[in-house]
């Protein structure tokens, strides 16, 4: 279970202090949670604070009762937090098999690594020995990144706008992967997304606007609010 208590984040600008997040308090205990809201509402900042990429200005973050507020990315990863970037990193000279072994924390056979790739809708034999370089598309990289998270088997898996920068075919494949994760994963999944198809199978939706949580609830509670708001609705993609 993840708990955020009065998390704030501010930055210095030429015009003075700008508040990005304002006293965000949230408990994430459902299997599949989506944070949505208008552009600039602080969604990606919140995800990076949870992952430990940036530090909050104030507030507290607890994972299963353990205070992780001042822990590094590595320390949080060791406790079971995974983070998938909007744009996955490419590693020239490292194979897909190498990455999945690193994620799992142990040496995997080709067959074991292929199982994780297959779960993500990739023809494993075509990918397991490929380098993670520019020859891979954005959609392929994102599914490989998800395979790494599956191999880790973490308590909390964070995805920052996984639909960003991929084509419709790759997105449809990605949706199937998330639907499968929703059914099978034992930990919590937290996704930052504008995609209605992702919102529609969330166990819980968090609506963030202007750095503040406006509403937390089930899909049938939140979607009417989203669709009734021009500011949010125009950014929701079907």
Check: CB of residue 192 under 8 Å from CB of residue 160: yes
Instruction: Output 129 or 10, whichever has higher pLDDT.
Output: 10
**Going by DSSP bridges, is the β-strand pair 156-160/16-28 parallel, antiparallel, or unpaired?**
unpaired
Instruction: Output 7 or 201, whichever has higher pLDDT.
Output: 7
Residues composing the chain: 238
Instruction: Output 238 or 181, whichever has higher pLDDT.
Output: 181
Instruction: Output 180 or 74, whichever has higher pLDDT.
Output: 74
pLDDT for the residue 229: 58
| Bridge partners for 24 per DSSP | 7
pLDDT for the residue 147: 84
pLDDT for the residue 119: 80
pLDDT for the residue 213: 94
pLDDT for the residue 175: 78
Tell me how far apart the alpha carbons of residues 32 and 18 are, in angstroms, rounded to a whole number. 31
pLDDT for the residue 26: 93
pLDDT for the residue 106: 86
Tell me how far apart the alpha carbons of residues 38 and 232 are, in angstroms, rounded to a whole number. 5
Please provide the DSSP assignment of 108-145 as one string.
--HHHHHHHHHHTT--HHHHTTSEESTTS-HHHHHHHH
Tell me: the pLDDT tens digits for 198-233?
Answer: 888 888 999 999 999 999 998 888 888 777 655 554
pLDDT higher than threshold 60 for residue 234: no
pLDDT higher than threshold 50 for residue 142: yes
pLDDT higher than threshold 90 for residue 14: no
Check: CB of residue 204 under 8 Å from CB of residue 217: yes
Tell me: the pLDDT tens digits for 97-135?
Answer: 888 888 888 888 888 888 888 887 787 788 888 888 777
The alpha carbons of the chain give a radius of gyration, in whole angstroms, of 18
Please provide the DSSP assignment of 37-62 as one string.
-STTSSHHHHHHHHHTSS--SEEEEE
Low-confidence winner among 14-23, 83-92, 123-132 (lowest mean pLDDT): 83-92
Low-confidence winner among 145-154, 176-185, 195-204 (lowest mean pLDDT): 176-185
pLDDT for the residue 238: 40
Q: For all residues of the chain together, what is the average pLDDT?
A: 84
Tell me: the pLDDT tens digits for 55-76?
Answer: 999 999 999 999 999 999 999 9
Percent of the chain at pLDDT > 70 equals 91
- Write phi, then psi, for 113 (nearest 5 degrees): -65, -40
């Amino acid at each position: 279970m993840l708990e955020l208590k009065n998390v704030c984040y501010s930055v210095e600008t030429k015009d003075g202090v700008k508040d990005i997040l304002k006293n965000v308090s949230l408990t994430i205990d459902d299997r599949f949670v989506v944070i949505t809201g208008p552009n600039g509402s602080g969604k990606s900042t919140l995800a990076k604070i949870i992952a430990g990429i940036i530090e909050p200005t104030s507030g507290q973050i607890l994972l299963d009762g353990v205070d992780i507020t001042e822990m590094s990315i590595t320390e949080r990863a060791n406790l079971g937090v995974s983070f998938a970037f909007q744009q996955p990193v490419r590693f020239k000279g490292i194979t897909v098999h190498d990455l999945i072994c690193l994620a799992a924390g142990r040496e995997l056979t080709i067959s074991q690594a292929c199982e994780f790739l297959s779960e993500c809708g990739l023809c494993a034999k075509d990918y397991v020995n490929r380098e993670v370089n520019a020859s891979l598309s954005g959609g392929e990289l994102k599914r490989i990144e998800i395979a790494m998270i599956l191999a880790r088997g973490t308590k909390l898996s964070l995805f920052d706008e996984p639909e960003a920068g991929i084509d419709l075919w790759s997105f449809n494949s990605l949706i199937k992967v998330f639907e499968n994760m929703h059914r099978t994963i034992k930990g919590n999944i937290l996704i930052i997304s504008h995609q209605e198809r992702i919102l529609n199978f969330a166990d819980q939706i968090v609506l963030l606007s202007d750095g503040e949580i406006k509403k937390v609830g089930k899909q049938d509670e939140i979607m009417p609010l989203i669709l009734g708001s021009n500011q949010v609705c125009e950014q929701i993609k079907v």
